[in-house]
Amino acid sequence: MLPQNSHLWHGTTVLTVRKGGAVVIGADGQVSVGQTIIKANAKKVRRLAKGDVIGGFAGATADAFTLFERLEGKLEQYPGQLMRAAVELAKDWRTDRYLRRLEAMMLVADAQVTLVLTGTGDVLEPENGVMGIGSGGNYALAAARALLDTDMDAESIVRKAMAIAADICVYTNRSVTVEALNTV
């Protein structure tokens, strides 16, 4: 269930792929308000926990940065335990009066696990290590799933799937930021 202001959520595409000893998160750089492109090269993917965790967001930028800061705090409290930190963040996000109003979704990953976090309290591990969020998320997800059984590596799949999403979704562009972690 999306918040009432869900029209703010449709301005991006974020994709994660876990394959062949790597996990990769990529996001486009377009920031849109309504039908206007405000910025084309925003960085919606970042490293957390001294580089051991990568994350990407869809939704309101300030809200996402607030959530990243909260997740960083949870990762400091539970070092090396992304799942535990994510569950604790989801509890706060769901119950805290201030956090409950934040409109964003996050994809986060470390060497062991990939997770989707939502404001409805969800902490989900995607099937097959592939997940997309944002307006073009389903397009990128479908493309990535189709490319999984090829000889392409995780980063190549992310880049190709994001390009496909950009061809379909008007709120997604080709200015893609990618972060990767080795999982072996």
Active-site residues: which are they? 12
Residue position matching structure tokens 């893609």: 176
CB 163 within 8 A of CB 174: yes
Q: Which of 18, 16, 20 is nearest to 151 (CA)?
A: 20
CB 22 within 8 A of CB 75: no
Three-state DSSP class for 132? strand
CB 105 within 8 A of CB 118: yes
> For residue 50, how many other CB atoms are within 10 A of its CB?
10
